[in-house]
């Protein structure tokens, strides 16, 4: 810790010891009044013998020494001047540490990962606010990320009309009427989204709600919508009673119910097009898979013996570079022997053949594998999301495993004997992924989906 900071903290602590300044009685009344109704309900339910839940003496709020505002103003001006120095110095952080953060950000810029470069450079900017290079780089990265990140010079793999029909039409049954959708957020259940107000006060599943809510607000802003929308956050299928299927959700079983929307993007789309800088020839001929044990909560995996990921890892743990990164939230102690440790995306991309397995819903890694110069090895997908996994073709976009996952040895041998074909599959994957990185076009698809939704519900 910086010695000047220690001295400052000690002086302030001596001058402002105690519990701090209380509001005046006239200020305390309206604050307390906000809690009167709920306090009364608590009293009636749990403390009926009491006349009031709390006895508050408002006189004490006026019985205190007045604040010496000259002292407060002095320290405010002192702190204002002091923080103009490097915050790193204030916290006693060596300058070489900030240099390292800055240089790592520059490295990510050079490798094409501007998003990661921006995140690191913002940390450096916080610690060294007066660094001219750091400030200029933060502004540059922010400008770069605001631009449409990709625009192909040829038609995309699927037309906008085709994509909208696939997102929207599967499972929509206009002859049925859905029951009323609830107003309050519950994970994996449909509810009415009203721009985030329905999420206020939520403690459980908060991060899930925040991630989905940000993306849904982006959708509403893109289409200029102020209406309420029926949505479902989470991984599960729509409840059976929602036969009409006019509920927006992240993923569904192929040919299942629900209107697909791009939600939880931070988890599923946290990479830039062209991020894989390794060529096909630079990659090794190994098979790799890392992930966490998920899918145990799905309707077809009621125990670990039936679980897709566990069966795969158990079968090939000793012969290939496959294993669990960690047990995770759904893991169990019986899986501990099959934890092989974390291997980041760049580590996996050193291999030509990367396995992709569905978990609670779609396989999270499939998107970045398709966008890379490696080849996905996977069973025929059973679920789909904004990626439209239903449109992927075996031996064109991926090398297929059978549903029982017991033929990896044969598949791997085929890959080794058909290197040029596999290289073309990797190129086909990138061609397929182009359409998802044109920001302007993605927003146009948002507008087309919303127009079709409005037409459907009004009809």
SS3 category, 252: strand
The region of weakest confidence among 267-281, 337-351, 423-437 is: 267-281
For residue 210, is pLDDT > 60? Answer: yes
Band (pLDDT 50/70/90 cuts) for residue 1 is: very low
pLDDT of residue 70: 61
pLDDT of residue 239: 74
Instruction: Give the full edge-to-edge strand order of the sheet including 375-379.
Output: 321-324, 284-291, 351-355, 375-379, 399-401
Nearest C-alpha neighbor of 371 from the set 108, 113, 105: 113
Nearest C-alpha neighbor of 230 from the set 178, 181, 175: 181
The region of weakest confidence among 190-194, 224-228, 289-293, 311-315 is: 190-194
The region of weakest confidence among 105-109, 313-317, 383-387 is: 105-109
pLDDT in tens, 12-63: 666 556 666 666 666 677 777 778 888 888 888 888 888 888 887 766 666 6
Residues 6+ apart with CB under 8 A from 32: 56
Band (pLDDT 50/70/90 cuts) for residue 232 is: confident
Strand partners, 338: none
Helix 3-15 with 69-82: angle, nearest 10 deg: 170
User: Percentage of the chain with pLDDT > 90?
Assistant: 34
Count the neighbouring beta carbons within 10 Å of the beta carbon of residue 395. Answer: 14
Averaged pLDDT score across all residues of the chain: 79
Instruction: Give the full edge-to-edge strand order of the sheet including 229-232.
Output: 191-193, 229-232, 248-249, 259-260
Tokens encoding 450: 């919303």
Separation of alpha carbons 391 and 398, rounded Å: 11
The region of weakest confidence among 125-139, 202-216, 252-266, 301-315 is: 202-216
- Can you tell me the mean pLDDT for 409-428? 96
DSSP states of 279-327: -GGGSEEEEEEEE----TTSTT-SSGGG-HHHHHHHHHTTTSEEEES--
Question: Could you tell me the CA-to-CA distances from 339 to 292, 311, 344, 355 in Å, in that order?
Answer: 9, 13, 15, 16
Separation of alpha carbons 360 and 328, rounded Å: 13
Tokens encoding 237: 């299928």
- Can you tell me the mean pLDDT for 111-125? 82
Residue 142 has, within 13 A of its CA and on its CB side, a CA count of 8
* Cβ burial 230-250 (10 Å sphere, 16+ → b, else e): bbbbbbbbbeeebbbbbbbbb
Band (pLDDT 50/70/90 cuts) for residue 85 is: low
For residue 299, is pLDDT > 60? Answer: no
pLDDT of residue 196: 47
Count the neighbouring beta carbons within 10 Å of the beta carbon of residue 103. Answer: 11
Answer yes or no: are the C-beta atoms of 32 and 40 closer than 8 Å. no
Answer yes or no: are the C-beta atoms of 294 and 236 closer than 8 Å. no
- Angle at CA of residue 350, ends 346 and 356, nearest 5°: 80
Band (pLDDT 50/70/90 cuts) for residue 244 is: low
Nearest C-alpha neighbor of 354 from the set 333, 338, 370: 370
Tokens encoding 34: 């906000």
Band (pLDDT 50/70/90 cuts) for residue 421 is: very high
pLDDT of residue 300: 40
Answer yes or no: are the C-beta atoms of 285 and 128 closer than 8 Å. no
* Cβ burial 69-86 (10 Å sphere, 16+ → b, else e): eeeeeeeeeeeeeeeeeb
SS3 category, 248: strand
Q: Are β-strands 383-384 and 252-253 bridged in parallel, bridged antiparallel, or unpaired?
A: antiparallel
DSSP states of 108-157: HHHTT-HHHHHHHHHHHHHH-TT-HHHHHHHHHHHHHHHS-S---SS--S
Q: Which residue has the higher pLDDT, 382 or 47?
A: 382
Entry pTM = 0.64
The region of weakest confidence among 175-189, 295-309, 402-416 is: 175-189
Band (pLDDT 50/70/90 cuts) for residue 277 is: confident
Residues 6+ apart with CB under 8 A from 216: 193, 229, 231, 248, 261, 263
For residue 436, is pLDDT > 90? Answer: yes
pLDDT in tens, 128-172: 877 888 888 888 887 776 554 556 667 888 999 999 999 986 545
Q: Which helix (H) or strand (E) holds 74?
A: helix 69-82
Q: Which domains does the chain have, with CATH numbers?
A: 87-146 (no CATH), 160-268 (no CATH), 280-437 (3.40.50.2000)
Nearest C-alpha neighbor of 354 from the set 428, 433, 411: 411
Answer yes or no: are the C-beta atoms of 159 and 152 closer than 8 Å. no
Q: Are β-strands 229-232 and 191-193 bridged in parallel, bridged antiparallel, or unpaired?
A: antiparallel
| DSSP E strand boundaries for 189-275 | 191-193, 229-232, 248-249, 252-253, 259-260
């Amino acid at each position: 810790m910086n010695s000047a900071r220690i001295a400052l903290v000690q002086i302030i602590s001596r001058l402002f010891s105690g519990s701090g300044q209380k509001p005046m009685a006239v200020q305390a009344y309206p604050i307390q009044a906000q809690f009167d109704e709920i306090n009364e309900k608590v009293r009636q339910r749990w403390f009926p013998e009491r006349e009031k839940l709390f006895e508050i003496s408002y006189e004490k709020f006026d019985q205190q020494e007045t604040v010496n505002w000259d002292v407060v103003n002095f320290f405010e001006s002192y702190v204002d001047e002091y923080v103009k120095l490097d915050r790193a110095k204030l916290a006693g952080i060596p300058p070489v540490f900030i240099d390292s953060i800055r240089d790592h950000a520059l490295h990510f810029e050079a490798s094409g990962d501007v998003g990661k470069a921006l995140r690191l450079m913002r940390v450096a900017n916080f610690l060294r606010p007066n660094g001219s290079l750091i400030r200029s780089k933060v502004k540059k990265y922010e400008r770069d990320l605001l631009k449409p990140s990709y625009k192909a010079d040829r038609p995309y793999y699927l037309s906008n009309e085709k994509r909208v029909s696939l997102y929207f039409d599967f499972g929509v049954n206009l002859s049925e009427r859905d029951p009323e959708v609830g107003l309050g957020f519950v994970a994996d259940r449909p509810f009415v989204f009203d721009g985030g107000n329905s999420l206020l006060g939520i403690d459980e599943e908060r991060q899930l709600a925040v991630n989905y809510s940000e993306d849904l607000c982006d959708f509403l802003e893109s289409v200029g919508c102020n209406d309420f929308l029926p949505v479902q956050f989470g991984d599960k299928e729509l409840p059976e009673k929602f036969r009409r299927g006019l509920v927006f959700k992240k993923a569904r079983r192929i040919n299942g119910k629900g209107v697909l929307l791009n939600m939880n993007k931070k988890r599923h789309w946290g990479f830039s097009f062209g991020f894989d800088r390794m060529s096909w020839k630079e990659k090794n001929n190994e098979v790799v898979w890392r992930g966490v044990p998920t899918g145990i909560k799905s309707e077809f995996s009621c125990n670990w013996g039936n679980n897709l990921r566990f069966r795969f890892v158990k079968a090939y743990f000793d012969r290939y570079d496959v294993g669990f990164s960690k047990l995770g939230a759904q893991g169990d102690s019986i899986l501990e022997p099959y934890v092989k440790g974390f291997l980041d995306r760049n580590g996996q991309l050193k291999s030509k053949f990367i396995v992709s397995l569905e978990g609670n819903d779609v396989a999270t890694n499939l998107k970045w594998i398709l966008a890379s110069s490696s080849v996905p090895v996977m069973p025929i997908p059973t679920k789909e999301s904004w990626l439209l996994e239903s449109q992927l073709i075996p031996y064109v976009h991926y090398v297929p495993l059978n549903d029982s996952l017991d033929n990896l040895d044969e598949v791997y041998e085929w890959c080794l004997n058909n290197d040029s074909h596999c290289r073309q599959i990797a190129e086909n994957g990138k061609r397929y992924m182009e359409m998802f990185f044109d920001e302007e076009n993605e927003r146009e698809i948002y507008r087309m989906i919303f127009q079709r939704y409005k037409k459907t519900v009004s009809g």
